[in-house]
Amino acid sequence: MKLLCIGSGYVGLVSGTCFADLGNDVTCLDIDEKKVESLSKGIIPIYEPGLKELVDRNLKLGRLRFTTDSEKVIKECDVIFICVGTPPKANGEADMSFVYGAAENIGKFMDSYKIIADKSTVPVGTAEKVRKIISEELIKRKKNIEFDVVSNPEFLREGAAVKDFQNPDRIILGVSSERAREILAKLYKPVTRADKPILFTTQKNAELIKYASNAMLATRISFMNEFSQLCEEIGADIKVVARGMGLDNRIGSRFLQAGCGYGGSCFPKDVKALAQMLEQHGLTSNLMRTVDYINERQKRSLVPKLKKFLPKLEGKTIAIWGVAFKPRTDDIREAPSLVVIDQLLKEDALIKAYDPEALENAKNNLKKGVFFASNAYEAVEGADALIICTEWDEFREPDFERMKKLMKQHIIIDGRNLYEPEDIEKLGFKYKGVGR
C-alpha cells in the first residue's frame, strides 16, 4: 500500500520505517526542510535500537522517502497516519493544533478515497473533530470525496519501539466502516498473531484505551513510590515487597519498581491530560492528580537523601550516572535527572554527568554548570558522591574498587535500586537506595 505518515518525529519515523520494512511504499511528511534532508541521507535525529539499520535498508530499496511536499503525497497515498505531537498546554490539556492543522491540509489536497488514522495520543472525540475539519475543507472546494477517519493509537516504548511494532501486544483500531476495517486488517496482517490480536472497536474507545493504558502504568509506578517512603520509615525493603506482590498472578511483576520517578514524552503528559479531560466533563481527577504529584515529589527525593550524608553541598562535586529518562533512549524530556541537577545547581554543587546515549541532548538543554564526562569513571573521578538516575546496563556491575580509588568520598545515592545495600556497604561505600 501507499502510506503517508504526517510528522517524522518519534512515532512517524518508527511507524513509517517499520511499515516500509513490511513492503509498503511509505512517505514521511515534515515541515522541517533540514530534518527531511538529513533523514533522506539516513541521518536520524533520535537513538532507537535497530531503527538506523531499517531506515538505511528501506531508503536503499526505495520503499521509504521523506518530503515537505504535502499536496503531492496526500494525493498519491491510500492511508494517511497523523503522527504529529500533542504537547501539553500550561493547564495540562493536550495541544491539538498540529493534529488539526494536518487535518486541514488533508482536506485541502485529497482527491480520492483515503483512510486517515490518528496515531498521535489524542483526547476522546478527536476522530470526530478531524472528520469535521476535513469535511469543511472539502465543502470549501465543492468536492464530494469519501473518506474514513480511524483511531489507531501507538504503543511504542522508547528503547524498544521497533520490537514493539514488529511484535505488538495488540493493535487497536477504532473504525466506523467495513471498508476501513478490511483495508487496515490487510495492512496489519504481517504483524498480527493468534495471541496478539487486532481489536476493532469504536473511535472513542480506541482513543481512551491509549490514555487508560499509560495512566494505569504510571499509577503502578507512583503506587510503589508512595510505598517506598513507608518502607524507609519502618525499615522494610520495597524490592522485596514488590517481588512478593508480583508473584500474585492478579498483579504481576511489571511496573512495580520504585525509583526516582517516571519521565519521557508519554506518561507525564498523558496523566495530566487525562486529569484535565476528567475535569472538563465535570468529574473528579483526584487519582490522576495524585499520581502526578507523587511522581514529581519522587524526582525531588534523591538530593535530600544525599544531604543526610553531605549536609552542605556548596562546592561539592556530585557525579550523575544517567540523564535519559530511561535506558536505551536519548530522550531527556521530563527526566528525573533534570530535577536532580537543578536542585544541585541551586545548592552550588559542581556536577559531572554521564549518559551512554543522551549526552548531546543534555548538552543542548543543560548549558551551564554541568561538566559532561565521556564515561562513567571519568564522571566519578574526584566526586564526593554519585547519584544514579537511569538504570543503564553498564551501571549494574561497575568496578567498585576502581570507583573507590577515583572518588573523593564514597557515597552512592541509587535512584534506581541497582545494588543491594549490604553488598555496597561491605565494599566501603555509604549507600542509600529508594524505599530501602
State how far the Cα of 181 lies from the Cα of 179, in Å rounded to an integer: 5
State how far the Cα of 180 lies from the Cα of 188, in Å rounded to an integer: 12
State how far the Cα of 265 lies from the Cα of 86, in Å rounded to an integer: 10
266 is catalytic: yes
Beta bridge partners of 321: 354, 388
SS3 sequence of 293-353:
HHHHHHHCCHHHHHHHHCCCCCCCEEEEECCCCCCCCCCCCCCHHHHHHHHHHHCCCEEEE
Q: Which helix (H) or strand (E) holds 358?
A: none
CB atoms within 10 A of CB 162: 19
DSSP string, 258-301: -SS---SSSHHHHHHHHHHHHHHTT---HHHHHHHHHHHHHHTS
Contacts for 359 with CB less than 8 Å, ≥ 6 apart: 323, 353, 372
State how far the Cα of 343 lies from the Cα of 302, in Å rounded to an integer: 10
- From 28, 260, 266, 389, active-site residue: 266
Contact (CB, 8 A) for 131 and 152: no
State how far the Cα of 217 lies from the Cα of 94, in Å rounded to an integer: 19
Contact (CB, 8 A) for 201 and 173: yes
- At residue 6, what is the residue type? I
Catalytic residues: 266
